[in-house]
Structure 1
Amino acid sequence: MTELKSNKIKAGIIGGAGYTGGEMLRILVNHPDVDIAFVHSNSNAGNFIYEVHTDLFGDTDLKFTGELSTDIDVLFLCVGHGDARKFLESNPIPDHIKIIDLSQDFRLGQNSQLENKKFIYGLPELNRDAIKSAQNIANPGCFATCLQLGLLPLAAKGLLNSEVHISATTGSTGAGQKPSATTHFTWRNDNLSVYKVFDHQHLNEIGESLKQLQPAFNQAVNFIPHRGDFTRGIFASIYLGSELSEEEALKIYEDYYAGHPFTHVTSRNIDLKQVINTNKVFLQVKKYGNKIFIISMLDNLLKGASGQAVQNMNLLFGFDERAGLRLKATGF
C-alpha cells in the first residue's frame, strides 16, 4: 500500500513555555492543517510540554527542545519584546519559512524591516489582502487590537473628527508570565489600578492604523488602561463626538465587518465572558446625546495574541480563516 503524504504544514514555536506559547499550543494541537514540528524553550529543554502546560496532559507527548529546525513552513515567535529581533539576528531563518512575531518588535512602520525580511502588520480586519500575500507578519498588541477594532469603521469613513476617550481594563495575563509586584495574587486580588496613563506603547500602533484609513486624522486618543482583578480579557469603553445617529453608526460598523468572521457588532449590552477563550471580538455601538459610545472586548491571549497569530497563519497559507479557532466561550 502506498503511504499517503500529509498535506499539513509544519510549525515551529520559539518561546513555548509562556502564556502566548501555551495558547499557541492549545490551538495548534487541534488544528486540522498543522503539525507541530518543535517547541523551543531553553529553560525547559527535554521536559514534556504537559509538565509546564499541565492542561495539555493527554493531548500531546511532545517535549520542549533547545534545538532549532528549518524543516518547517511557519515559525511563531512567542518571546518578549526586544527578544524577537535579537533571535532573528542571531538565528538567520531561510526565506521559505514564514515568520509570525507576537512581540512588538516589528509592528511600527519604521521598525518593520530586518535586512531582507519585511513584516506586514497582522490585523486581518485592516490588512487582510496584504496578509494573504505576505511572507512575515507582525502580530498586533492586545490593547491595540481591541481599541483599533472599536475605531476602524469610523476612520474608514473619515469620521474621526474629535478627540477619542478610552478607558480599558485588562486581565493579569496581559502582563506576561514572569511574576512582578502588580501580577502577584495577593496584590491583584480584590484590587484595581491604572498604569501608563495617556502613554501606553500600543498607542503608536493605533495611530498608524487610524492614519492608514484616515490620513488627515490628528486628534488626541486619550487612553487610560486599568489592571483588572481577573485573569484574561480586555473590556474597553470608547467615546467621541459625532453627528451620526445610532442607526447610521451601527450600519457603518456592520458594513465594515461584514465578511470578517470573528468581529461581531450589536446594540445590545455585552459582557466579557461572551468572548473569553475565543478568538471573537464583540462591539456594542450606542448613541448618547452628541457622542458615539463603543464597547470593544476580546480575550487578550487569543484575539489579542495567539488566536490572531493563527488567524494570520490561516490567511498566509490559504486555509479557512476560522480553522482551529472555533472555540467555545466560558459562558459561566
Structure 2
Amino acid sequence: MINVSIAGGTGYTAGELLRILLRHPEANIESVISTTSAGMQVAEIHRDLLGETDMVFSHTFINPDLIFLCLGHELSRNFLEMNNVPKRCKIIDLGNDFRNKPLFKDREFVFGLCELNREKLRKAGNVANPGCFATSIMLALLPLASKQLLTDEIHVHAITGSTGAGKRPGETTHFSYRDSNISVYKPFTHQHLEEIRNTLINAGSQGLPQINFVPMRGDFARGIFASVYTKFNSTTTESEVIRLYKEFYKTSPFVFVSDVPVSLKEVVNTNKGLLHIEFHNGYIHITSIIDNLVKGASGQAVQNMNLMFGLEETMGLKLKGSAF
C-alpha cells in the first residue's frame, strides 16, 4: 500500500482526490492536512464523503510515501520550506509552483502530462501536475506539435466551470453572478500559457507560433470545453491528420478521438479527454473536453501516482460518467 498525505485538504481538488483515493486499491490515506480545520471530521467539509470515511483533518503528515500538495498557487514552495519532507517521500504538486520552474533545493519536478512524459513519470520522484486549461489545450495540439504542423497563429476559446476558480468565494464565483452568465477573463494573459508553450516546444514544435487564448467563465460547476483552431498549411490530408491523432493517443488509456462532435457531459466525473477534429476553409478545428477537477487536476494526479509507483495507469480511475 502507498501511504498518502494530502496537504491543503479542504479545497475542491483535495475533495476530488479523497473521492478517488478512498476507492483506490493500493492507496492508504494516512493524513489530510489543514491548518484551519485540524480536528474536524473530513466529511464535515466534504459532505459527499459522509458515511465514506471517519478521518479527521490533521496539522501535519505522519510518515507518507507520497504527498499531494493541493495548496493555492505559489504556496507549495512555502509548505516545503516550512516542513521537513523526507527525501524518500515523493511529491505531486497540483499548483503552479513547479510547472515552469522545476528545480527546488535537491528536488526536480517532472511535468506530469502523462500523454507526453509517461516514461519520465515512471522514474520520477517529484511531479508538477499540469493546469486544467493547459491540459485540454495541450491534448488538442500535441499531435500537430510532434510533426511540426503548427505553422500559423493558434486561436483558443475555452470555457471552464466555476470549480476552476477554487473554493474560496469571490465576486465572479458566487451563484448570482455565475448563474445564466458567461464572461471572459485574463484574455491573452492566462498563467497557463507558459506551460502550454513549453510543452508544445518540447513535443517538437520548433518556432511555435503565437497562441491567442481567450478563457471564459461558464455557468456550470465542472468541465472545460476548448475550441482550438489554426490555419492548416500542409499537404497532409485530412484523413492522415485524423490517423495521426489516433496513432498518437493509441497507448493513452483516457484520451480518445471521436469521429462525431463531442459535448461536455461526456467527460464530467471521469478522467477522460475527448477530442474531435474537423476541417473548414483551410483551418483545422479541434474540440477538446475534460473535467477540470479530474483529468484537469486530481484524476491526472492519481494517474501520475500510478505511473510513479509502477501500478496500472488506470487503477482507481475507471470512473462512471453521466451524460444526462
TM-score of the aligned structures, taking structure 2 as reference length: 0.98
1:151 aligns with 2:141: yes
Given that 2:155 and 2:228 are in contact with CA atoms closer than 8 Å, whether structure 1 keeps it comes out as: yes
Aligned counterparts of 2:184 and 2:54: Cα–Cα separation in 1? 41
Gaps in structure 1 of 5+ consecutive residues: 1-7
Identify the residue that residue 5 of structure 1 maps to in structure 2.
Answer: none
Given that 1:245 and 1:287 are in contact with CA atoms closer than 8 Å, whether structure 2 keeps it comes out as: no
Gaps in structure 2 of 5+ consecutive residues: none
1:305 aligns with 2:288: no
Letter in 1 for 2:20: I
Given that 2:226 and 2:289 are in contact with CA atoms closer than 8 Å, whether structure 1 keeps it comes out as: yes
1:62 aligns with 2:55: yes
Match of 2:68 among 62, 76, 95: 76
1:11 aligns with 2:4: yes
Aligned counterparts of 1:124 and 1:218: Cα–Cα separation in 2? 22
Given that 1:250 and 1:266 are in contact with CA atoms closer than 8 Å, whether structure 2 keeps it comes out as: no
SS in 2 for 1:27: helix
Given that 2:147 and 2:205 are in contact with CA atoms closer than 8 Å, whether structure 1 keeps it comes out as: no
Give CA deviations for 1:158-194 in whole Å, capped at 9, x if unaligned: 1111111111000000000011000010011011110
Q: Per-residue deviation at 1:94?
A: 0.8
Identify the residue that residue 162 of structure 1 maps to in structure 2.
Answer: 152
Instruction: State the aligned residue count.
Output: 322
Give CA deviations for 1:124-168 in whole Å, capped at 9, x if unaligned: 001111111010000000000000000000001111111111110
Give CA deviations for 1:66-94 in whole Å, capped at 9, x if unaligned: 1322x111100000001101100111211
1:112 aligns with 2:126: no
Give CA deviations for 1:192-221 in whole Å, capped at 9, x if unaligned: 110111111100000000110225233110
Q: Per-residue deviation at 1:318?
A: 0.7
Aligned counterparts of 2:49 and 2:206: Cα–Cα separation in 1? 48
SS in 2 for 1:11: strand
Aligned counterparts of 1:127 and 1:285: Cα–Cα separation in 2? 23
Letter in 2 for 1:81: H
Q: Per-residue deviation at 1:12?
A: 0.4
Given that 1:15 and 1:79 are in contact with CA atoms closer than 8 Å, whether structure 2 keeps it comes out as: yes
Aligned counterparts of 1:298 and 1:246: Cα–Cα separation in 2? 24
Aligned counterparts of 1:81 and 1:233: Cα–Cα separation in 2? 20
Identity among equivalent positions (%) equals 49
Given that 2:149 and 2:205 are in contact with CA atoms closer than 8 Å, whether structure 1 keeps it comes out as: no
Give CA deviations for 1:230-286 in whole Å, capped at 9, x if unaligned: 000000001111134321111010000011000000220110000000000000011
Q: Per-residue deviation at 1:13?
A: 0.5
1:235 aligns with 2:225: yes
Moved over 2 A (4+): 243-246
Between 60-69 and 76-85, report the one with greater CA deviation: 60-69
TM-score of the aligned structures, taking structure 1 as reference length: 0.96
Letter in 2 for 1:318: G
Aligned counterparts of 1:218 and 1:275: Cα–Cα separation in 2? 29
Identify the residue that residue 271 of structure 1 maps to in structure 2.
Answer: 263
Aligned counterparts of 1:62 and 1:187: Cα–Cα separation in 2? 35
Match of 1:250 among 234, 242, 254: 242
Identify the residue that residue 85 of structure 1 maps to in structure 2.
Answer: 77
Match of 1:282 among 247, 261, 274: 274
Letter in 1 for 2:136: C
Letter in 2 for 1:49: V
Letter in 2 for 1:319: L
Match of 2:23 among 23, 30, 39: 30
Identify the residue that residue 115 of structure 2 maps to in structure 1.
Answer: 125
Q: Per-residue deviation at 1:312?
A: 0.1
Given that 1:246 and 1:285 are in contact with CA atoms closer than 8 Å, whether structure 2 keeps it comes out as: no
Given that 1:195 and 1:227 are in contact with CA atoms closer than 8 Å, whether structure 2 keeps it comes out as: yes
Q: Per-residue deviation at 1:117?
A: 0.5
SS in 2 for 1:65: coil
Aligned counterparts of 1:213 and 1:30: Cα–Cα separation in 2? 34
